[in-house]
Structure formats: structure tokens, C-alpha cells
Structure 1
Amino acid sequence: MRRLSARFLVEGTAEGLLTVWSTPLSFWGGFDSADGRVIDRSHPAFGTAVAGRILAMPSGRGSSSASSVLAEAVRRGTAPAAILLAMPDPIIAVGAIVARRLYGRTCPVLLCDPADFGQLADGARAEIRSEDGLAVVVLGEGPPPPRA
């Protein structure tokens, strides 16, 4: 297991499989909050479902309305379990903050060092936790074992 330091933009804990993209996504017009899939036909991950996964992407892209789409996805349970970013994105953070405030549901948003971001592997198991007030990303080797 490897541990990466990160900084919380929105605090919380999560665990799941990583979905790693090199291309940013705008939740507004690019993501369907009803089913948790990428609907931007120009995005390389078009059709991919990210519900319950830890989404890693360089940043968000686009409209301030993306906050409302992310908040709605968190409410519906179709959002990523957490979002790791290489660059700060206040629009994504606001969506997660609004979801926590209005719906009492959490989607942690973390800022990762760009060098560490480059080492994230798609499909790897990851856990987001807080240790002494600091964000820690614990990376495992692969998918978690099936639950009995």
C-alpha cells in the first residue's frame, strides 16, 4: 500500500476503485445526475459510470452550474464517492459543499500534488481518510475482494 498526502477542499471519507482521467469534465452538460454517467460525447470517458468510484481528474471544466449537477448527483447517490483533483476547482468544491449542507451527504473533494496525481492507476483500490486533520489517500493494489 502507498500513502499520498493531499489537501481537503471538502472533508470526508470514502473508499472505492479509482477512475483516473487525464481530461477534465464539466458536470454541467457532461454528466447525467440521474444515472451517474458521462454524457459529453467529446469526452474520452463518454458512457462511463462513476457512481461510487473515486474520480481523479486534473480539474473540472466549465460552467458554474456544474455545482448544481454535482449536488444533485450526490443527493441521488449517483455521484463519485470522492473526487481527487490536481488543480483546485471551486465549482466542484461548491457542489460538494451544497450537497453536504442541503442533503447531509458527503462527496469529499481533495487536491493532490500533480506529481502524485500522475502516479494514480485506473482501477486501483483507494481510501480517503483524515489523519490529524490532514487528507491522506491510501492506495491498494487492485479491486477490493468481493463481499460475502
Structure 2
Amino acid sequence: MEKIVLQGRGVIPGIVEGEALVCADSITGWGGIDPETGVIKDYENVNRGKCIKDTILIMPGSKGSNGWSCYFGAARAAGSAPKGWAFSKIDSSAGVASAVMQIPTVVDFSKEEDPCVRVKTGDFVRLDGTKGTLEILKACSQ
């Protein structure tokens, strides 16, 4: 496999590896996840029923109200949060949630390197919040 490294901007430093969970339509914050289990409950989300725990969560940005950061913060407190996350473009709710979560975070990718398009759910990836990179280490066989 050809090495694929997407360049964004690192926001919260750290390096994590894991399975990608791509939510191209984001996740509604208020009630979109069960913070105790990390399971996506958002009725309109194609990933409904999947768990965010220990994944590298990839989304275009936040979705919904300011409660978004509260739900993800509660997931972290319960031990059901992702290992790290990447946002195509950062917004205020995603920024607050990143500050609360303190997990490696990469944001602001170019349109050509949008992780919501380039990465697939199930890919094994490395997220480097210090360098601002997201590397696909092994593509899933979808």
C-alpha cells in the first residue's frame, strides 16, 4: 500500500494509533452518544449503534448545540471516549470539546486531504496531534 499521510493542524499533542471511525455527517452532541458506553445513538447517523471508545474518530466538525462538548467530556470521564480525533475544519464546539477531552487532535485539513473523504471506517491509522498528521497505516478491505 502506498503511504498516505494527510496534513492538518495539530491542536492537542500526542500520538495514537487505532481503528478509524468516520462520521462524515458528524454526531449530534446533545443525546447523539451514550456517554456511559460510547455508543452512537443519533437516529440520523449512518454509524448508529457503533461505539466510539478507543477509536480514532473522524468528523467534519461538531453538530448541534453547545451540549456537544459536554457529552464528549462525559464520555471521557466514563472511559468510553475515542483515543483521538480529527476534524476536517474546527469550529467552536469542537474546539471546546478538544480542550475538555485532552486527546490528540488534528484539524483544518485542505479540501484535497479531507479525512472524511480519504479515510474509511475500519482503516488502521496513526494520528499525530503534535505534527498535525493523520496517516493511513493499513486500509480496511471494504
> Do the structures match in fold with TM over 0.5?
yes
Count of residue correspondences: 135
Which of 12, 15, 18 lines up with 2:17 in the alignment? 15
Shift of 1:116: 1.4
1:134 equivalenced with 2:103 (yes/no): no
Equivalent positions of 1:94-109 (< 5 A) are 94-99=96-101, 106-109=102-105
Which residue is 1:113 aligned to?
110
| Overall identity of the aligned pairs, in % | 21
Matched letter for residue 135 of structure 2: V
TM-score (norm 1): 0.81
In 2: Cα distance, 1:48 partner to 1:114 partner: 27
Which of 31, 36, 49 lines up with 1:47 in the alignment? 49
Shift of 1:56: 1.0
TM-score (norm 2): 0.84
Note the residue ranges of structure 2 that are not aligned, 5 or more in a row. Answer: none
The 3-state SS of whatever aligns with 2:65 is: coil
Q: Deviations over 1:101-142 (max 9, x none)?
A: xxxxx3222112232122112211111125xx5312121124
Shift of 1:21: 2.2
Cα RMSD (Å): 1.8
Which residue is 1:103 aligned to?
none
1:70–1:96 CA contact under 8 A, matched in 2: no
1:66–1:95 CA contact under 8 A, matched in 2: yes
